[in-house]
Amino acid sequence: MIDNRPSRRIIAHATLLVGVFIVAFPIYYTFVASTHSLQTILRPPLPLIPGDRFLENYATALFGGIGQIGGVSVGRLLWNSTVVAVLIAVGKILISIISAYAVVFFRFPLRMTFFWLIFITLMLPVEVRILPTYKVMVDFGLIDTYAGLTLPLMASATATLLFRQFFMTIPGELLEAARVDGAGPWRFFWDILLPLSKTNIAALFVIQFIYGWTQYLWPLLVTNRNDMGTIVIALRKMISFADADTQWHLVMVTCILAILPPILVVVFMQRWFVRGLVETEK
């Protein structure tokens, strides 16, 4: 070990604390704002400690209904975001795991062509094809539907690549043994491959849940009705700095409610998430 003098460690701790402060402060301050009255917020600077309106503000936001976002309740928006994030995560994992399975464990004409067709989609993010994709959504009648919000985001080259890489590390003997024992492709998939992929699936789930929850451009385009919006989009609609009527204390509550679920997912599933993140992106 080198340089284990206490002074060095104190410097390291101090730096990290400054880092944590910078990272956490905007979030903490928003929380503080969400516990104060509108009048306090409108007279900056805001106190650094939470106020006494916690219960009142959160109850109003959750059960009082907020007029600014077209009369849609925060509960409905949180539900929409959850549905979208879960559908994207589960859908992505499902379709990529079976396509990776096909590419690795079968031999068939055009196999590599298909693989490359999937692979190249890495280079076509939504931003480079927004107008025509929007037109497809209109033609299929998918505007303002959960299918429209999630389907186009489900095809994922990264998830397919990850599963493919992982499947290729599975020894061929395992498959041969399974076949000798009379297992067909489905049996092998369910009883051997899926249990082995558990960690990868958990990691991908966290990453894709966050991805789905934080989408912006796509939900902005494919939703017109307020009751189909995600909470991120609704929040954007609530905020108007020019408008004196903005209910800032309720905006802050909504902000906290919008960032809480993904933060909880990341913090509590940290172990899988960190491993998965570093591995997926390699």
Which residues ranging from 55 to 114 are in contact with another protein (CB under 8 A)? 94-96, 98-99, 101-108, 111, 114
What is the distance between the alpha carbons of residues 265 and 131, in angstroms, rounded to a whole number?
33
Task: Give, as ranges, the residues between 186 and 245 that touch another protein (CB under 8 A).
Answer: 188, 210, 213-217, 220-221, 232, 235-236, 239, 241
86 burial class (0-12, 13-18, 19+ CB within 10 angstroms)? middle
Q: Are 53 and 37 in contact (CB under 8 A)?
A: yes
Closest approach of another protein to the CB of residue 244, in Å: 9
Closest approach of another protein to the CB of residue 127, in Å: 5
Task: Give, as ranges, the residues between 2 and 21 that touch another protein (CB under 8 A).
Answer: 2-3, 8-9, 11-13, 15-16, 19-20
The region of 50-58, 67-75, 124-132, 197-205 touching another protein under the rule CB under 8 A is: 124-132
Task: Give, as ranges, the residues between 128 and 187 that touch another protein (CB under 8 A).
Answer: 128-136, 151-152, 154-155, 160, 168, 172-173, 175-176, 179, 184-185
Cβ-based neighbours of 107, under 8 Å, separated by 6 or more? none
Binding of another protein by 272 (CB under 8 A):
no
Q: 22-61 mask for another protein (x: CB under 8 A)?
A: xxx-xx-xx--x-------xx-xxx---------------
Please provide the DSSP assignment of 11-56 as one string. Answer: HHHHHHHHHHHHHHHHHHHHHHHTTS-HHHHHSSSPPSS--S-HHH
What is the distance between the alpha carbons of residues 43 and 37, in angstroms, rounded to a whole number?
10
Closest approach of another protein to the CB of residue 12, in Å: 4
What is the distance between the alpha carbons of residues 92 and 154, in angstroms, rounded to a whole number?
5
